[in-house]
Structure formats: C-alpha cells, structure tokens
Amino acid sequence: MRIGIDLGGTKIEAVVLTEGGEQVFCERVPTPQHDYQGTLEAIKGLVERAEAAVGETCTVGMGIPGTLSPVTGLVKNANSVWLNGKPLDKDLASVLGRDVRIANDANCLAVSEAVDGAGAGEHFVFAVIIGTGCGGGVAIDGKVHAGGNGVAGEWGHNPLPWQNDEDRHHESNTPCYCGKPGCLEVFISGTGFWKDFELTTGKTLRGPEIVAMAENGDAEAEACLQRYEDRLARALASVVNTVDPDVIVLGGGMSNVDRVYKNVPGLMAKWVLGGECDTPVRKAKYGDSSGVRGAAWLW
C-alpha cells in the first residue's frame, strides 16, 4: 500500500491507498507552523498511525507547497517558509527509516488526475490550482515532470498575457507577494477574484458570495465573473501555445465554479495561435483530495 501526505500551511493530511486506488485510511492534523522539527514529528506520527491502521509498512510520498532544488537538494519557493533551505527528503528519510518521494503539490494534483482522475489515459496533463494562490503542475505518462530547475508548470508567477487597461489597473493595486509585476496569481487565484470585485465595487466579499450574486442576476458580480473567465482563458491559452497539453485539469476553490467549464474553452480559442483550440478543460475528479492521492502515487 501507499501513504500519501499533503503538507499544507495549516494542516497535514495523510491517506493510504491500496494498489487499486481505494482509500483505506485518512487523518488530518494541524501543521506546526514555523516549527520544522515539529513538522517532521507530526508527519512521523501520521505515518505510524496509518501503518498501524492497515497493518503493514507502506511507501511514503508527499506533496509540499514548494519544490526540492535540483541544485542544492533543499526546499525552495515554499510559502510555508520554515521549510525553505531544509533537506526535507533526507530528514524525513532519517525520521521514518526509508526513502520518501517529495513533489510540488500542484505536480501531485497532476499525477493524481493523470493516474485515475479527469486526465486518466492522457499522455500530457497540465494541472492548475486556482485557490488561495495559483500554481500549476505537469504529469507525463502519469509521472511528475519537474524540469531541470524543479519549477515546470509553475506558470502562476508568469505575467497575465495580452493585458488591457482594466488588467493594468488591477495589477497596480494588487501587487504579488513574490515582488514581480503582473503575476497570474493576482488575477486568477480565488484571492485575485474577490480582490477584483472589491477593487471595482468597494465591497469586500468572498468568492462563493460573489458567484451566488451573479447567479441571482447581480450585474456587478456578473461583470466580475466575466473578467475572471476572460483572464483565465488568456492564461490557459498561453499554456496551449507553449506546451499544448492533452488536457487541462483545474483544482482549488475556483475550480468549483461550474460555468467556467462552459465559458472558458470557447474564450481560449481567440488567444491560441491559429484561432483553434480543442483542449479539454476539466474539473479535478478528486477535488481537494487530488493532491494527497497524487502524493501516494509518486511511488
């Protein structure tokens, strides 16, 4: 059996999958924030309880909100900043007494959906997380493609393409935490969505409230959703123009806005070279569980 661990900023989740993908164990614990040793101990406890529950020693794979540098072997780009600069795979191997495979959480989403999810059977799966932040990951033939720098798929910190005046106004009032201008994260994350509504209306609401207002005919909410769909279409069109994946799978809070799957594919064609785009855009089959399942499938 395989253990998958999703190491997030606020919680750590562990699951056990059988060879056929059936989940037979699941537990979540709070993340010991800003406590590296405490994080290692929390993961060790989850693994021990998981193996006690299923009665066997398992492989361990883990998704993290960052990546292991191919140059230094240390964690980089993690928004759980206490992980950065640490040899997390080696430290966990020492604590657990076995090798541990680690990948970026968006890459784990891609692997999960490529193995037995919305991209099952496809050669090249591009997975997108549009939640609190914005990230992407790549799976080729069901395996992580991390790239030579360990950042393949991290298109969330590329600039929004083909910007208009509304975009530039949004960008100037919504800087990205990474310090670079115009990142996709400030436009098409769930955070970017509600901040756009706040910027244009002066009202502070969260995503589900804005979507509900649009469904009930509110013009300001509808305009905000249309801007969001247009920006998401441009962002995904740039992916098609660059790597032309077989399927794009969406995860994170904004992936639950069902109208996106009706409206965005048609909008993408305008921006794809040649004016044609048949790339399917699908909702992650396993939702919030995709990342932790993908971590298990790293073995």
The pLDDT tens digits of the residues spanning 180-206 come to: 899 999 999 999 999 999 999 999 999
Region 280-298: mean pLDDT is 94
* Residue 284: predicted pLDDT: 97
Among 189, 169, 167, smallest CA distance to 178 is for 189
d(CA 71, CA 74): 8
d(CA 145, CA 4): 18
d(CA 266, CA 281): 10
Among 41, 30, 54, smallest CA distance to 296 is for 54
φ, ψ at 20 (rounded to 5°): -90, 0
How far is Cα of residue 229 from the mean position of the Cα atoms in its chain? 18
First to last CA, the chain: 10
| Residue count of the chain | 299
- Tally of helices (H runs) and strands (E runs) in the chain: 10, 12
Q: Taking the C-alpha atoms of 229, 10, 146 and 76 in order, what is their torsion angle to the nearest 10 degrees?
A: 110
Domains and CATH numbers, the chain: 2-99 (3.30.420.40), 122-283 (3.30.420.40)
Q: Which 8-state DSSP code applies to residue 73?
A: S
Region 36-63: mean pLDDT is 97
With pLDDT > 70 as the criterion, what percentage of the chain qualifies? 100
Q: Which 8-state DSSP code applies to residue 170?
A: H
d(CA 129, CA 249): 9
d(CA 144, CA 176): 27
Contacts (Cβ under 8 Å, ≥6 apart) of 122:
114, 246, 247
Contacts (Cβ under 8 Å, ≥6 apart) of 37:
none
- Kindly tell me if the per-residue pLDDT of 296 is higher than 90: yes
pLDDT bracket for residue 10 (50, 70, 90): confident
Task: Give the DSSP letter string of 232-271.
Answer: HHHHHHHHHHHH--SEEEEESGGGG-THHHHHHHHHHTTT
Contacts (Cβ under 8 Å, ≥6 apart) of 40:
91, 92, 95
Region 19-35: mean pLDDT is 95
Region 124-133: mean pLDDT is 92
* Residue 35: predicted pLDDT: 97
